[in-house]
Amino acid sequence: MVSGWWGKGAPSTIKSVYPDEFGLSRPPVRELLRQIAAEGYIELEANRAPRVAAMSHESLRAFFLAAPLVYIATTQLAATRATASEIEELRRIQALFRQAIQEQHVENRVIYNDEFHLEIGKMARNDYLMPSLRRVLIDHARLGKIFYRHPTTVDMQKDLELACDQHDQIIEAIARHDTEAAGQLIREHMELSRRRMAEYAAPEGMEVSLAL
């Protein structure tokens, strides 16, 4: 669902695939469906097959309003609580993300971008923020598959390299325990994503505002 193998709004075949493939009975499959629906992956309606959650203009707008709040909170908390070993793990993930950018590997750059921000969330060590972060990361990964897909244009590659450099700067701010810099950097990081999304959603020459 995150990778796009099941398209947005498409009927999910989980209910039939999992019991046959893994020998599961119906009750645990129904519980799994309820869980992933609560996490935002699918939509459940009475008398209809489960469907992969769609992304409308309204949901995109909601994402870009909420995501900066969640990322800023987790990143600033991480800057106050991160240990040396956690920062080293973040550097390891970032190295893999940079490699994916250089190799123009769509799947890996989505995966390692997700891991990067999730690791920052773990550093924050806040049980209230983590569920919100996980929900944001679902759609962040799906957006990454849409807006940074093949073929990678020169302009798109420059944005990806800038995003990668911003990751490095975020790591250094966390390592310095500089909460103000960490918050400002993540704002700029999200603005880069928002701008790319706006360019994708509107024809050239039109202005689209997703702000309040």
Q: What is the pLDDT of residues 37-79, one digit of tens each?
A: 666 667 777 777 777 766 677 777 888 889 999 999 999 999 9
**Same domain membership, residue 116 and residue 21:** no
Residue 206 located in a structural domain: no
What is the pLDDT at residue 199?
62
**Same domain membership, residue 62 and residue 22:** no
Q: Is the pTM of this model over 0.85?
A: no
Residue 48 located in a structural domain: yes
Judge contact between 159 and 60, C-beta under 8 A: no
Residue 6 located in a structural domain: no
Secondary structure letter of residue 41 according to DSSP: S
**Same domain membership, residue 37 and residue 112:** no
Q: How far does CA 112 lie from the centroid of its chain?
A: 10
Residue 138 located in a structural domain: yes
Compare 166 and 47 and report the one with higher pLDDT. Answer: 166
**Same domain membership, residue 142 and residue 100:** yes
What is the residue range of 181's domain? 57-201
Residue 5: pLDDT band with limits 50, 70, 90: very low
What is the pLDDT at residue 193?
80
What is the pLDDT at residue 149?
62
Answer whether residue 115 shows pLDDT above 70: yes
Q: What is the CATH number of the domain that holds 86?
A: 1.20.120.530
**Same domain membership, residue 61 and residue 37:** no
Judge contact between 28 and 18, C-beta under 8 A: no
Angle (CA) 34-35-38 rounded to 5° is 85
CA-CA distance, 191 to 136, in Å (whole number)?
15
Cα-based torsion angle of the residue sequence 191, 199, 129, 172 in order, rounded to the nearest 10 degrees: -40
**Same domain membership, residue 152 and residue 81:** yes
Judge contact between 66 and 140, C-beta under 8 A: no
**Same domain membership, residue 75 and residue 46:** no
Give the number of domains in the chain.
2
**Same domain membership, residue 124 and residue 75:** yes
Residue 208 located in a structural domain: no
**Same domain membership, residue 127 and residue 45:** no
**Same domain membership, residue 159 and residue 142:** yes
Whole-angstrom Cα Rg for the chain = 18
Residue 203: pLDDT band with limits 50, 70, 90: very low
Q: What is the pLDDT of residues 133-157, one digit of tens each?
A: 998 998 888 777 766 665 567 788 8
Residue 108 located in a structural domain: yes
pLDDT-wise least confident of 57-71, 85-99, 186-200: 186-200
**Same domain membership, residue 114 and residue 48:** no
Answer whether residue 174 shows pLDDT above 90: yes
Q: How high is the mean pLDDT of the chain?
A: 81
**Same domain membership, residue 101 and residue 40:** no
Residue 104: pLDDT band with limits 50, 70, 90: confident
Judge contact between 52 and 163, C-beta under 8 A: no
Residue 5 located in a structural domain: no
Residue 81 located in a structural domain: yes
CA-CA distance, 19 to 109, in Å (whole number)?
32
